[in-house]
Chains A and B, each alone.
Chain A
């Protein structure tokens, strides 16, 4: 399973943008980049995924480097409810399992 590297923790202020980085230098051509987040005492929640192009949805944006060896999850305006552990995951197109690392714990300050 290809690995990802994320900072252990990050802090942000409420209503400011947050950029969560992820390195995946061993990514293969068929690996999709997925982001999930886990709020305290909850199961993980899907955030966004992409392959090559940048992606936007109602929750966040995903910016993927041209060489695909890194990506950034962007929360445009952080709220207190965005405080969670964010996981960057590489998932092969044909694979059913998600391989989670330790993720980045995001703290949002009021």
Chain B
């Protein structure tokens, strides 16, 4: 068990560009979550999947954001037409349905929009 893996760890992009992040959850974890964290704040929930179904999306997830988990394994988070306000740490977490309580987080992808 190698834990939740996120790629890339860091991304610098120019305003207006599209970016995509990948998350590989712990194998056999059927629930996957995306959070965003800005400096000095706690993580904010963005969305979650149960297997391949996206079951909840935060109002923070604007139309420029899209997340997928096509085969119920890894997930991608895409941000289109990035803005400076998108600069943050994007965290992925996974959990087992049966446990339901303990989420395992990855180390995150730090996005800087210049």
Partners in one complex: yes
Measured between C-beta atoms, what is the minimum distance from A1 to chain B in Å? 10
Chain A residues within 8 Å of B107, by CB: 41-43
In this complex, how many residues of chain B approach chain A with their Cβ under 8 Å: the count is 24
Which chain B residues (15-60) contact chain A, with CB distance < 8 Å?
Answer: 31, 33, 35, 40-45, 48, 55-56, 58
A sample of 12 inter-chain contacts (CB < 8 A) reads A32-B101, A34-B101, A43-B93, A49-B101, A49-B102, A96-B55, A97-B33, A97-B45, A98-B35, A98-B103, A100-B42, A102-B42
* Interface membership of B105, Cβ < 8 A: yes
Question: A-B pairs with CB below 8 Å: how many?
Answer: 49
Q: Is the CB of B111 closer than 8 A to any CB of chain A?
A: no
CB distance from A4 to the nearest CB of B (A): 10
A-chain residues with CB within 8 Å of residue B33 when the two chains form the complex: 96-97
**B79: Cβ under 8 A from any A Cβ:** no
How far does the alpha carbon of A91 sit from the alpha carbon of B33 in the complex, in Å?
A: 15
Query: For B41, what are the chain A residues with a Cβ–Cβ distance below 8 Å?
Result: 102
Interface bracket on A = 20 to 34
Bound Cα distance A43, B101 (Å): 17
Q: Which residues of the other chain, A, contact B56 by a CB distance below 8 angstroms?
A: 96-97
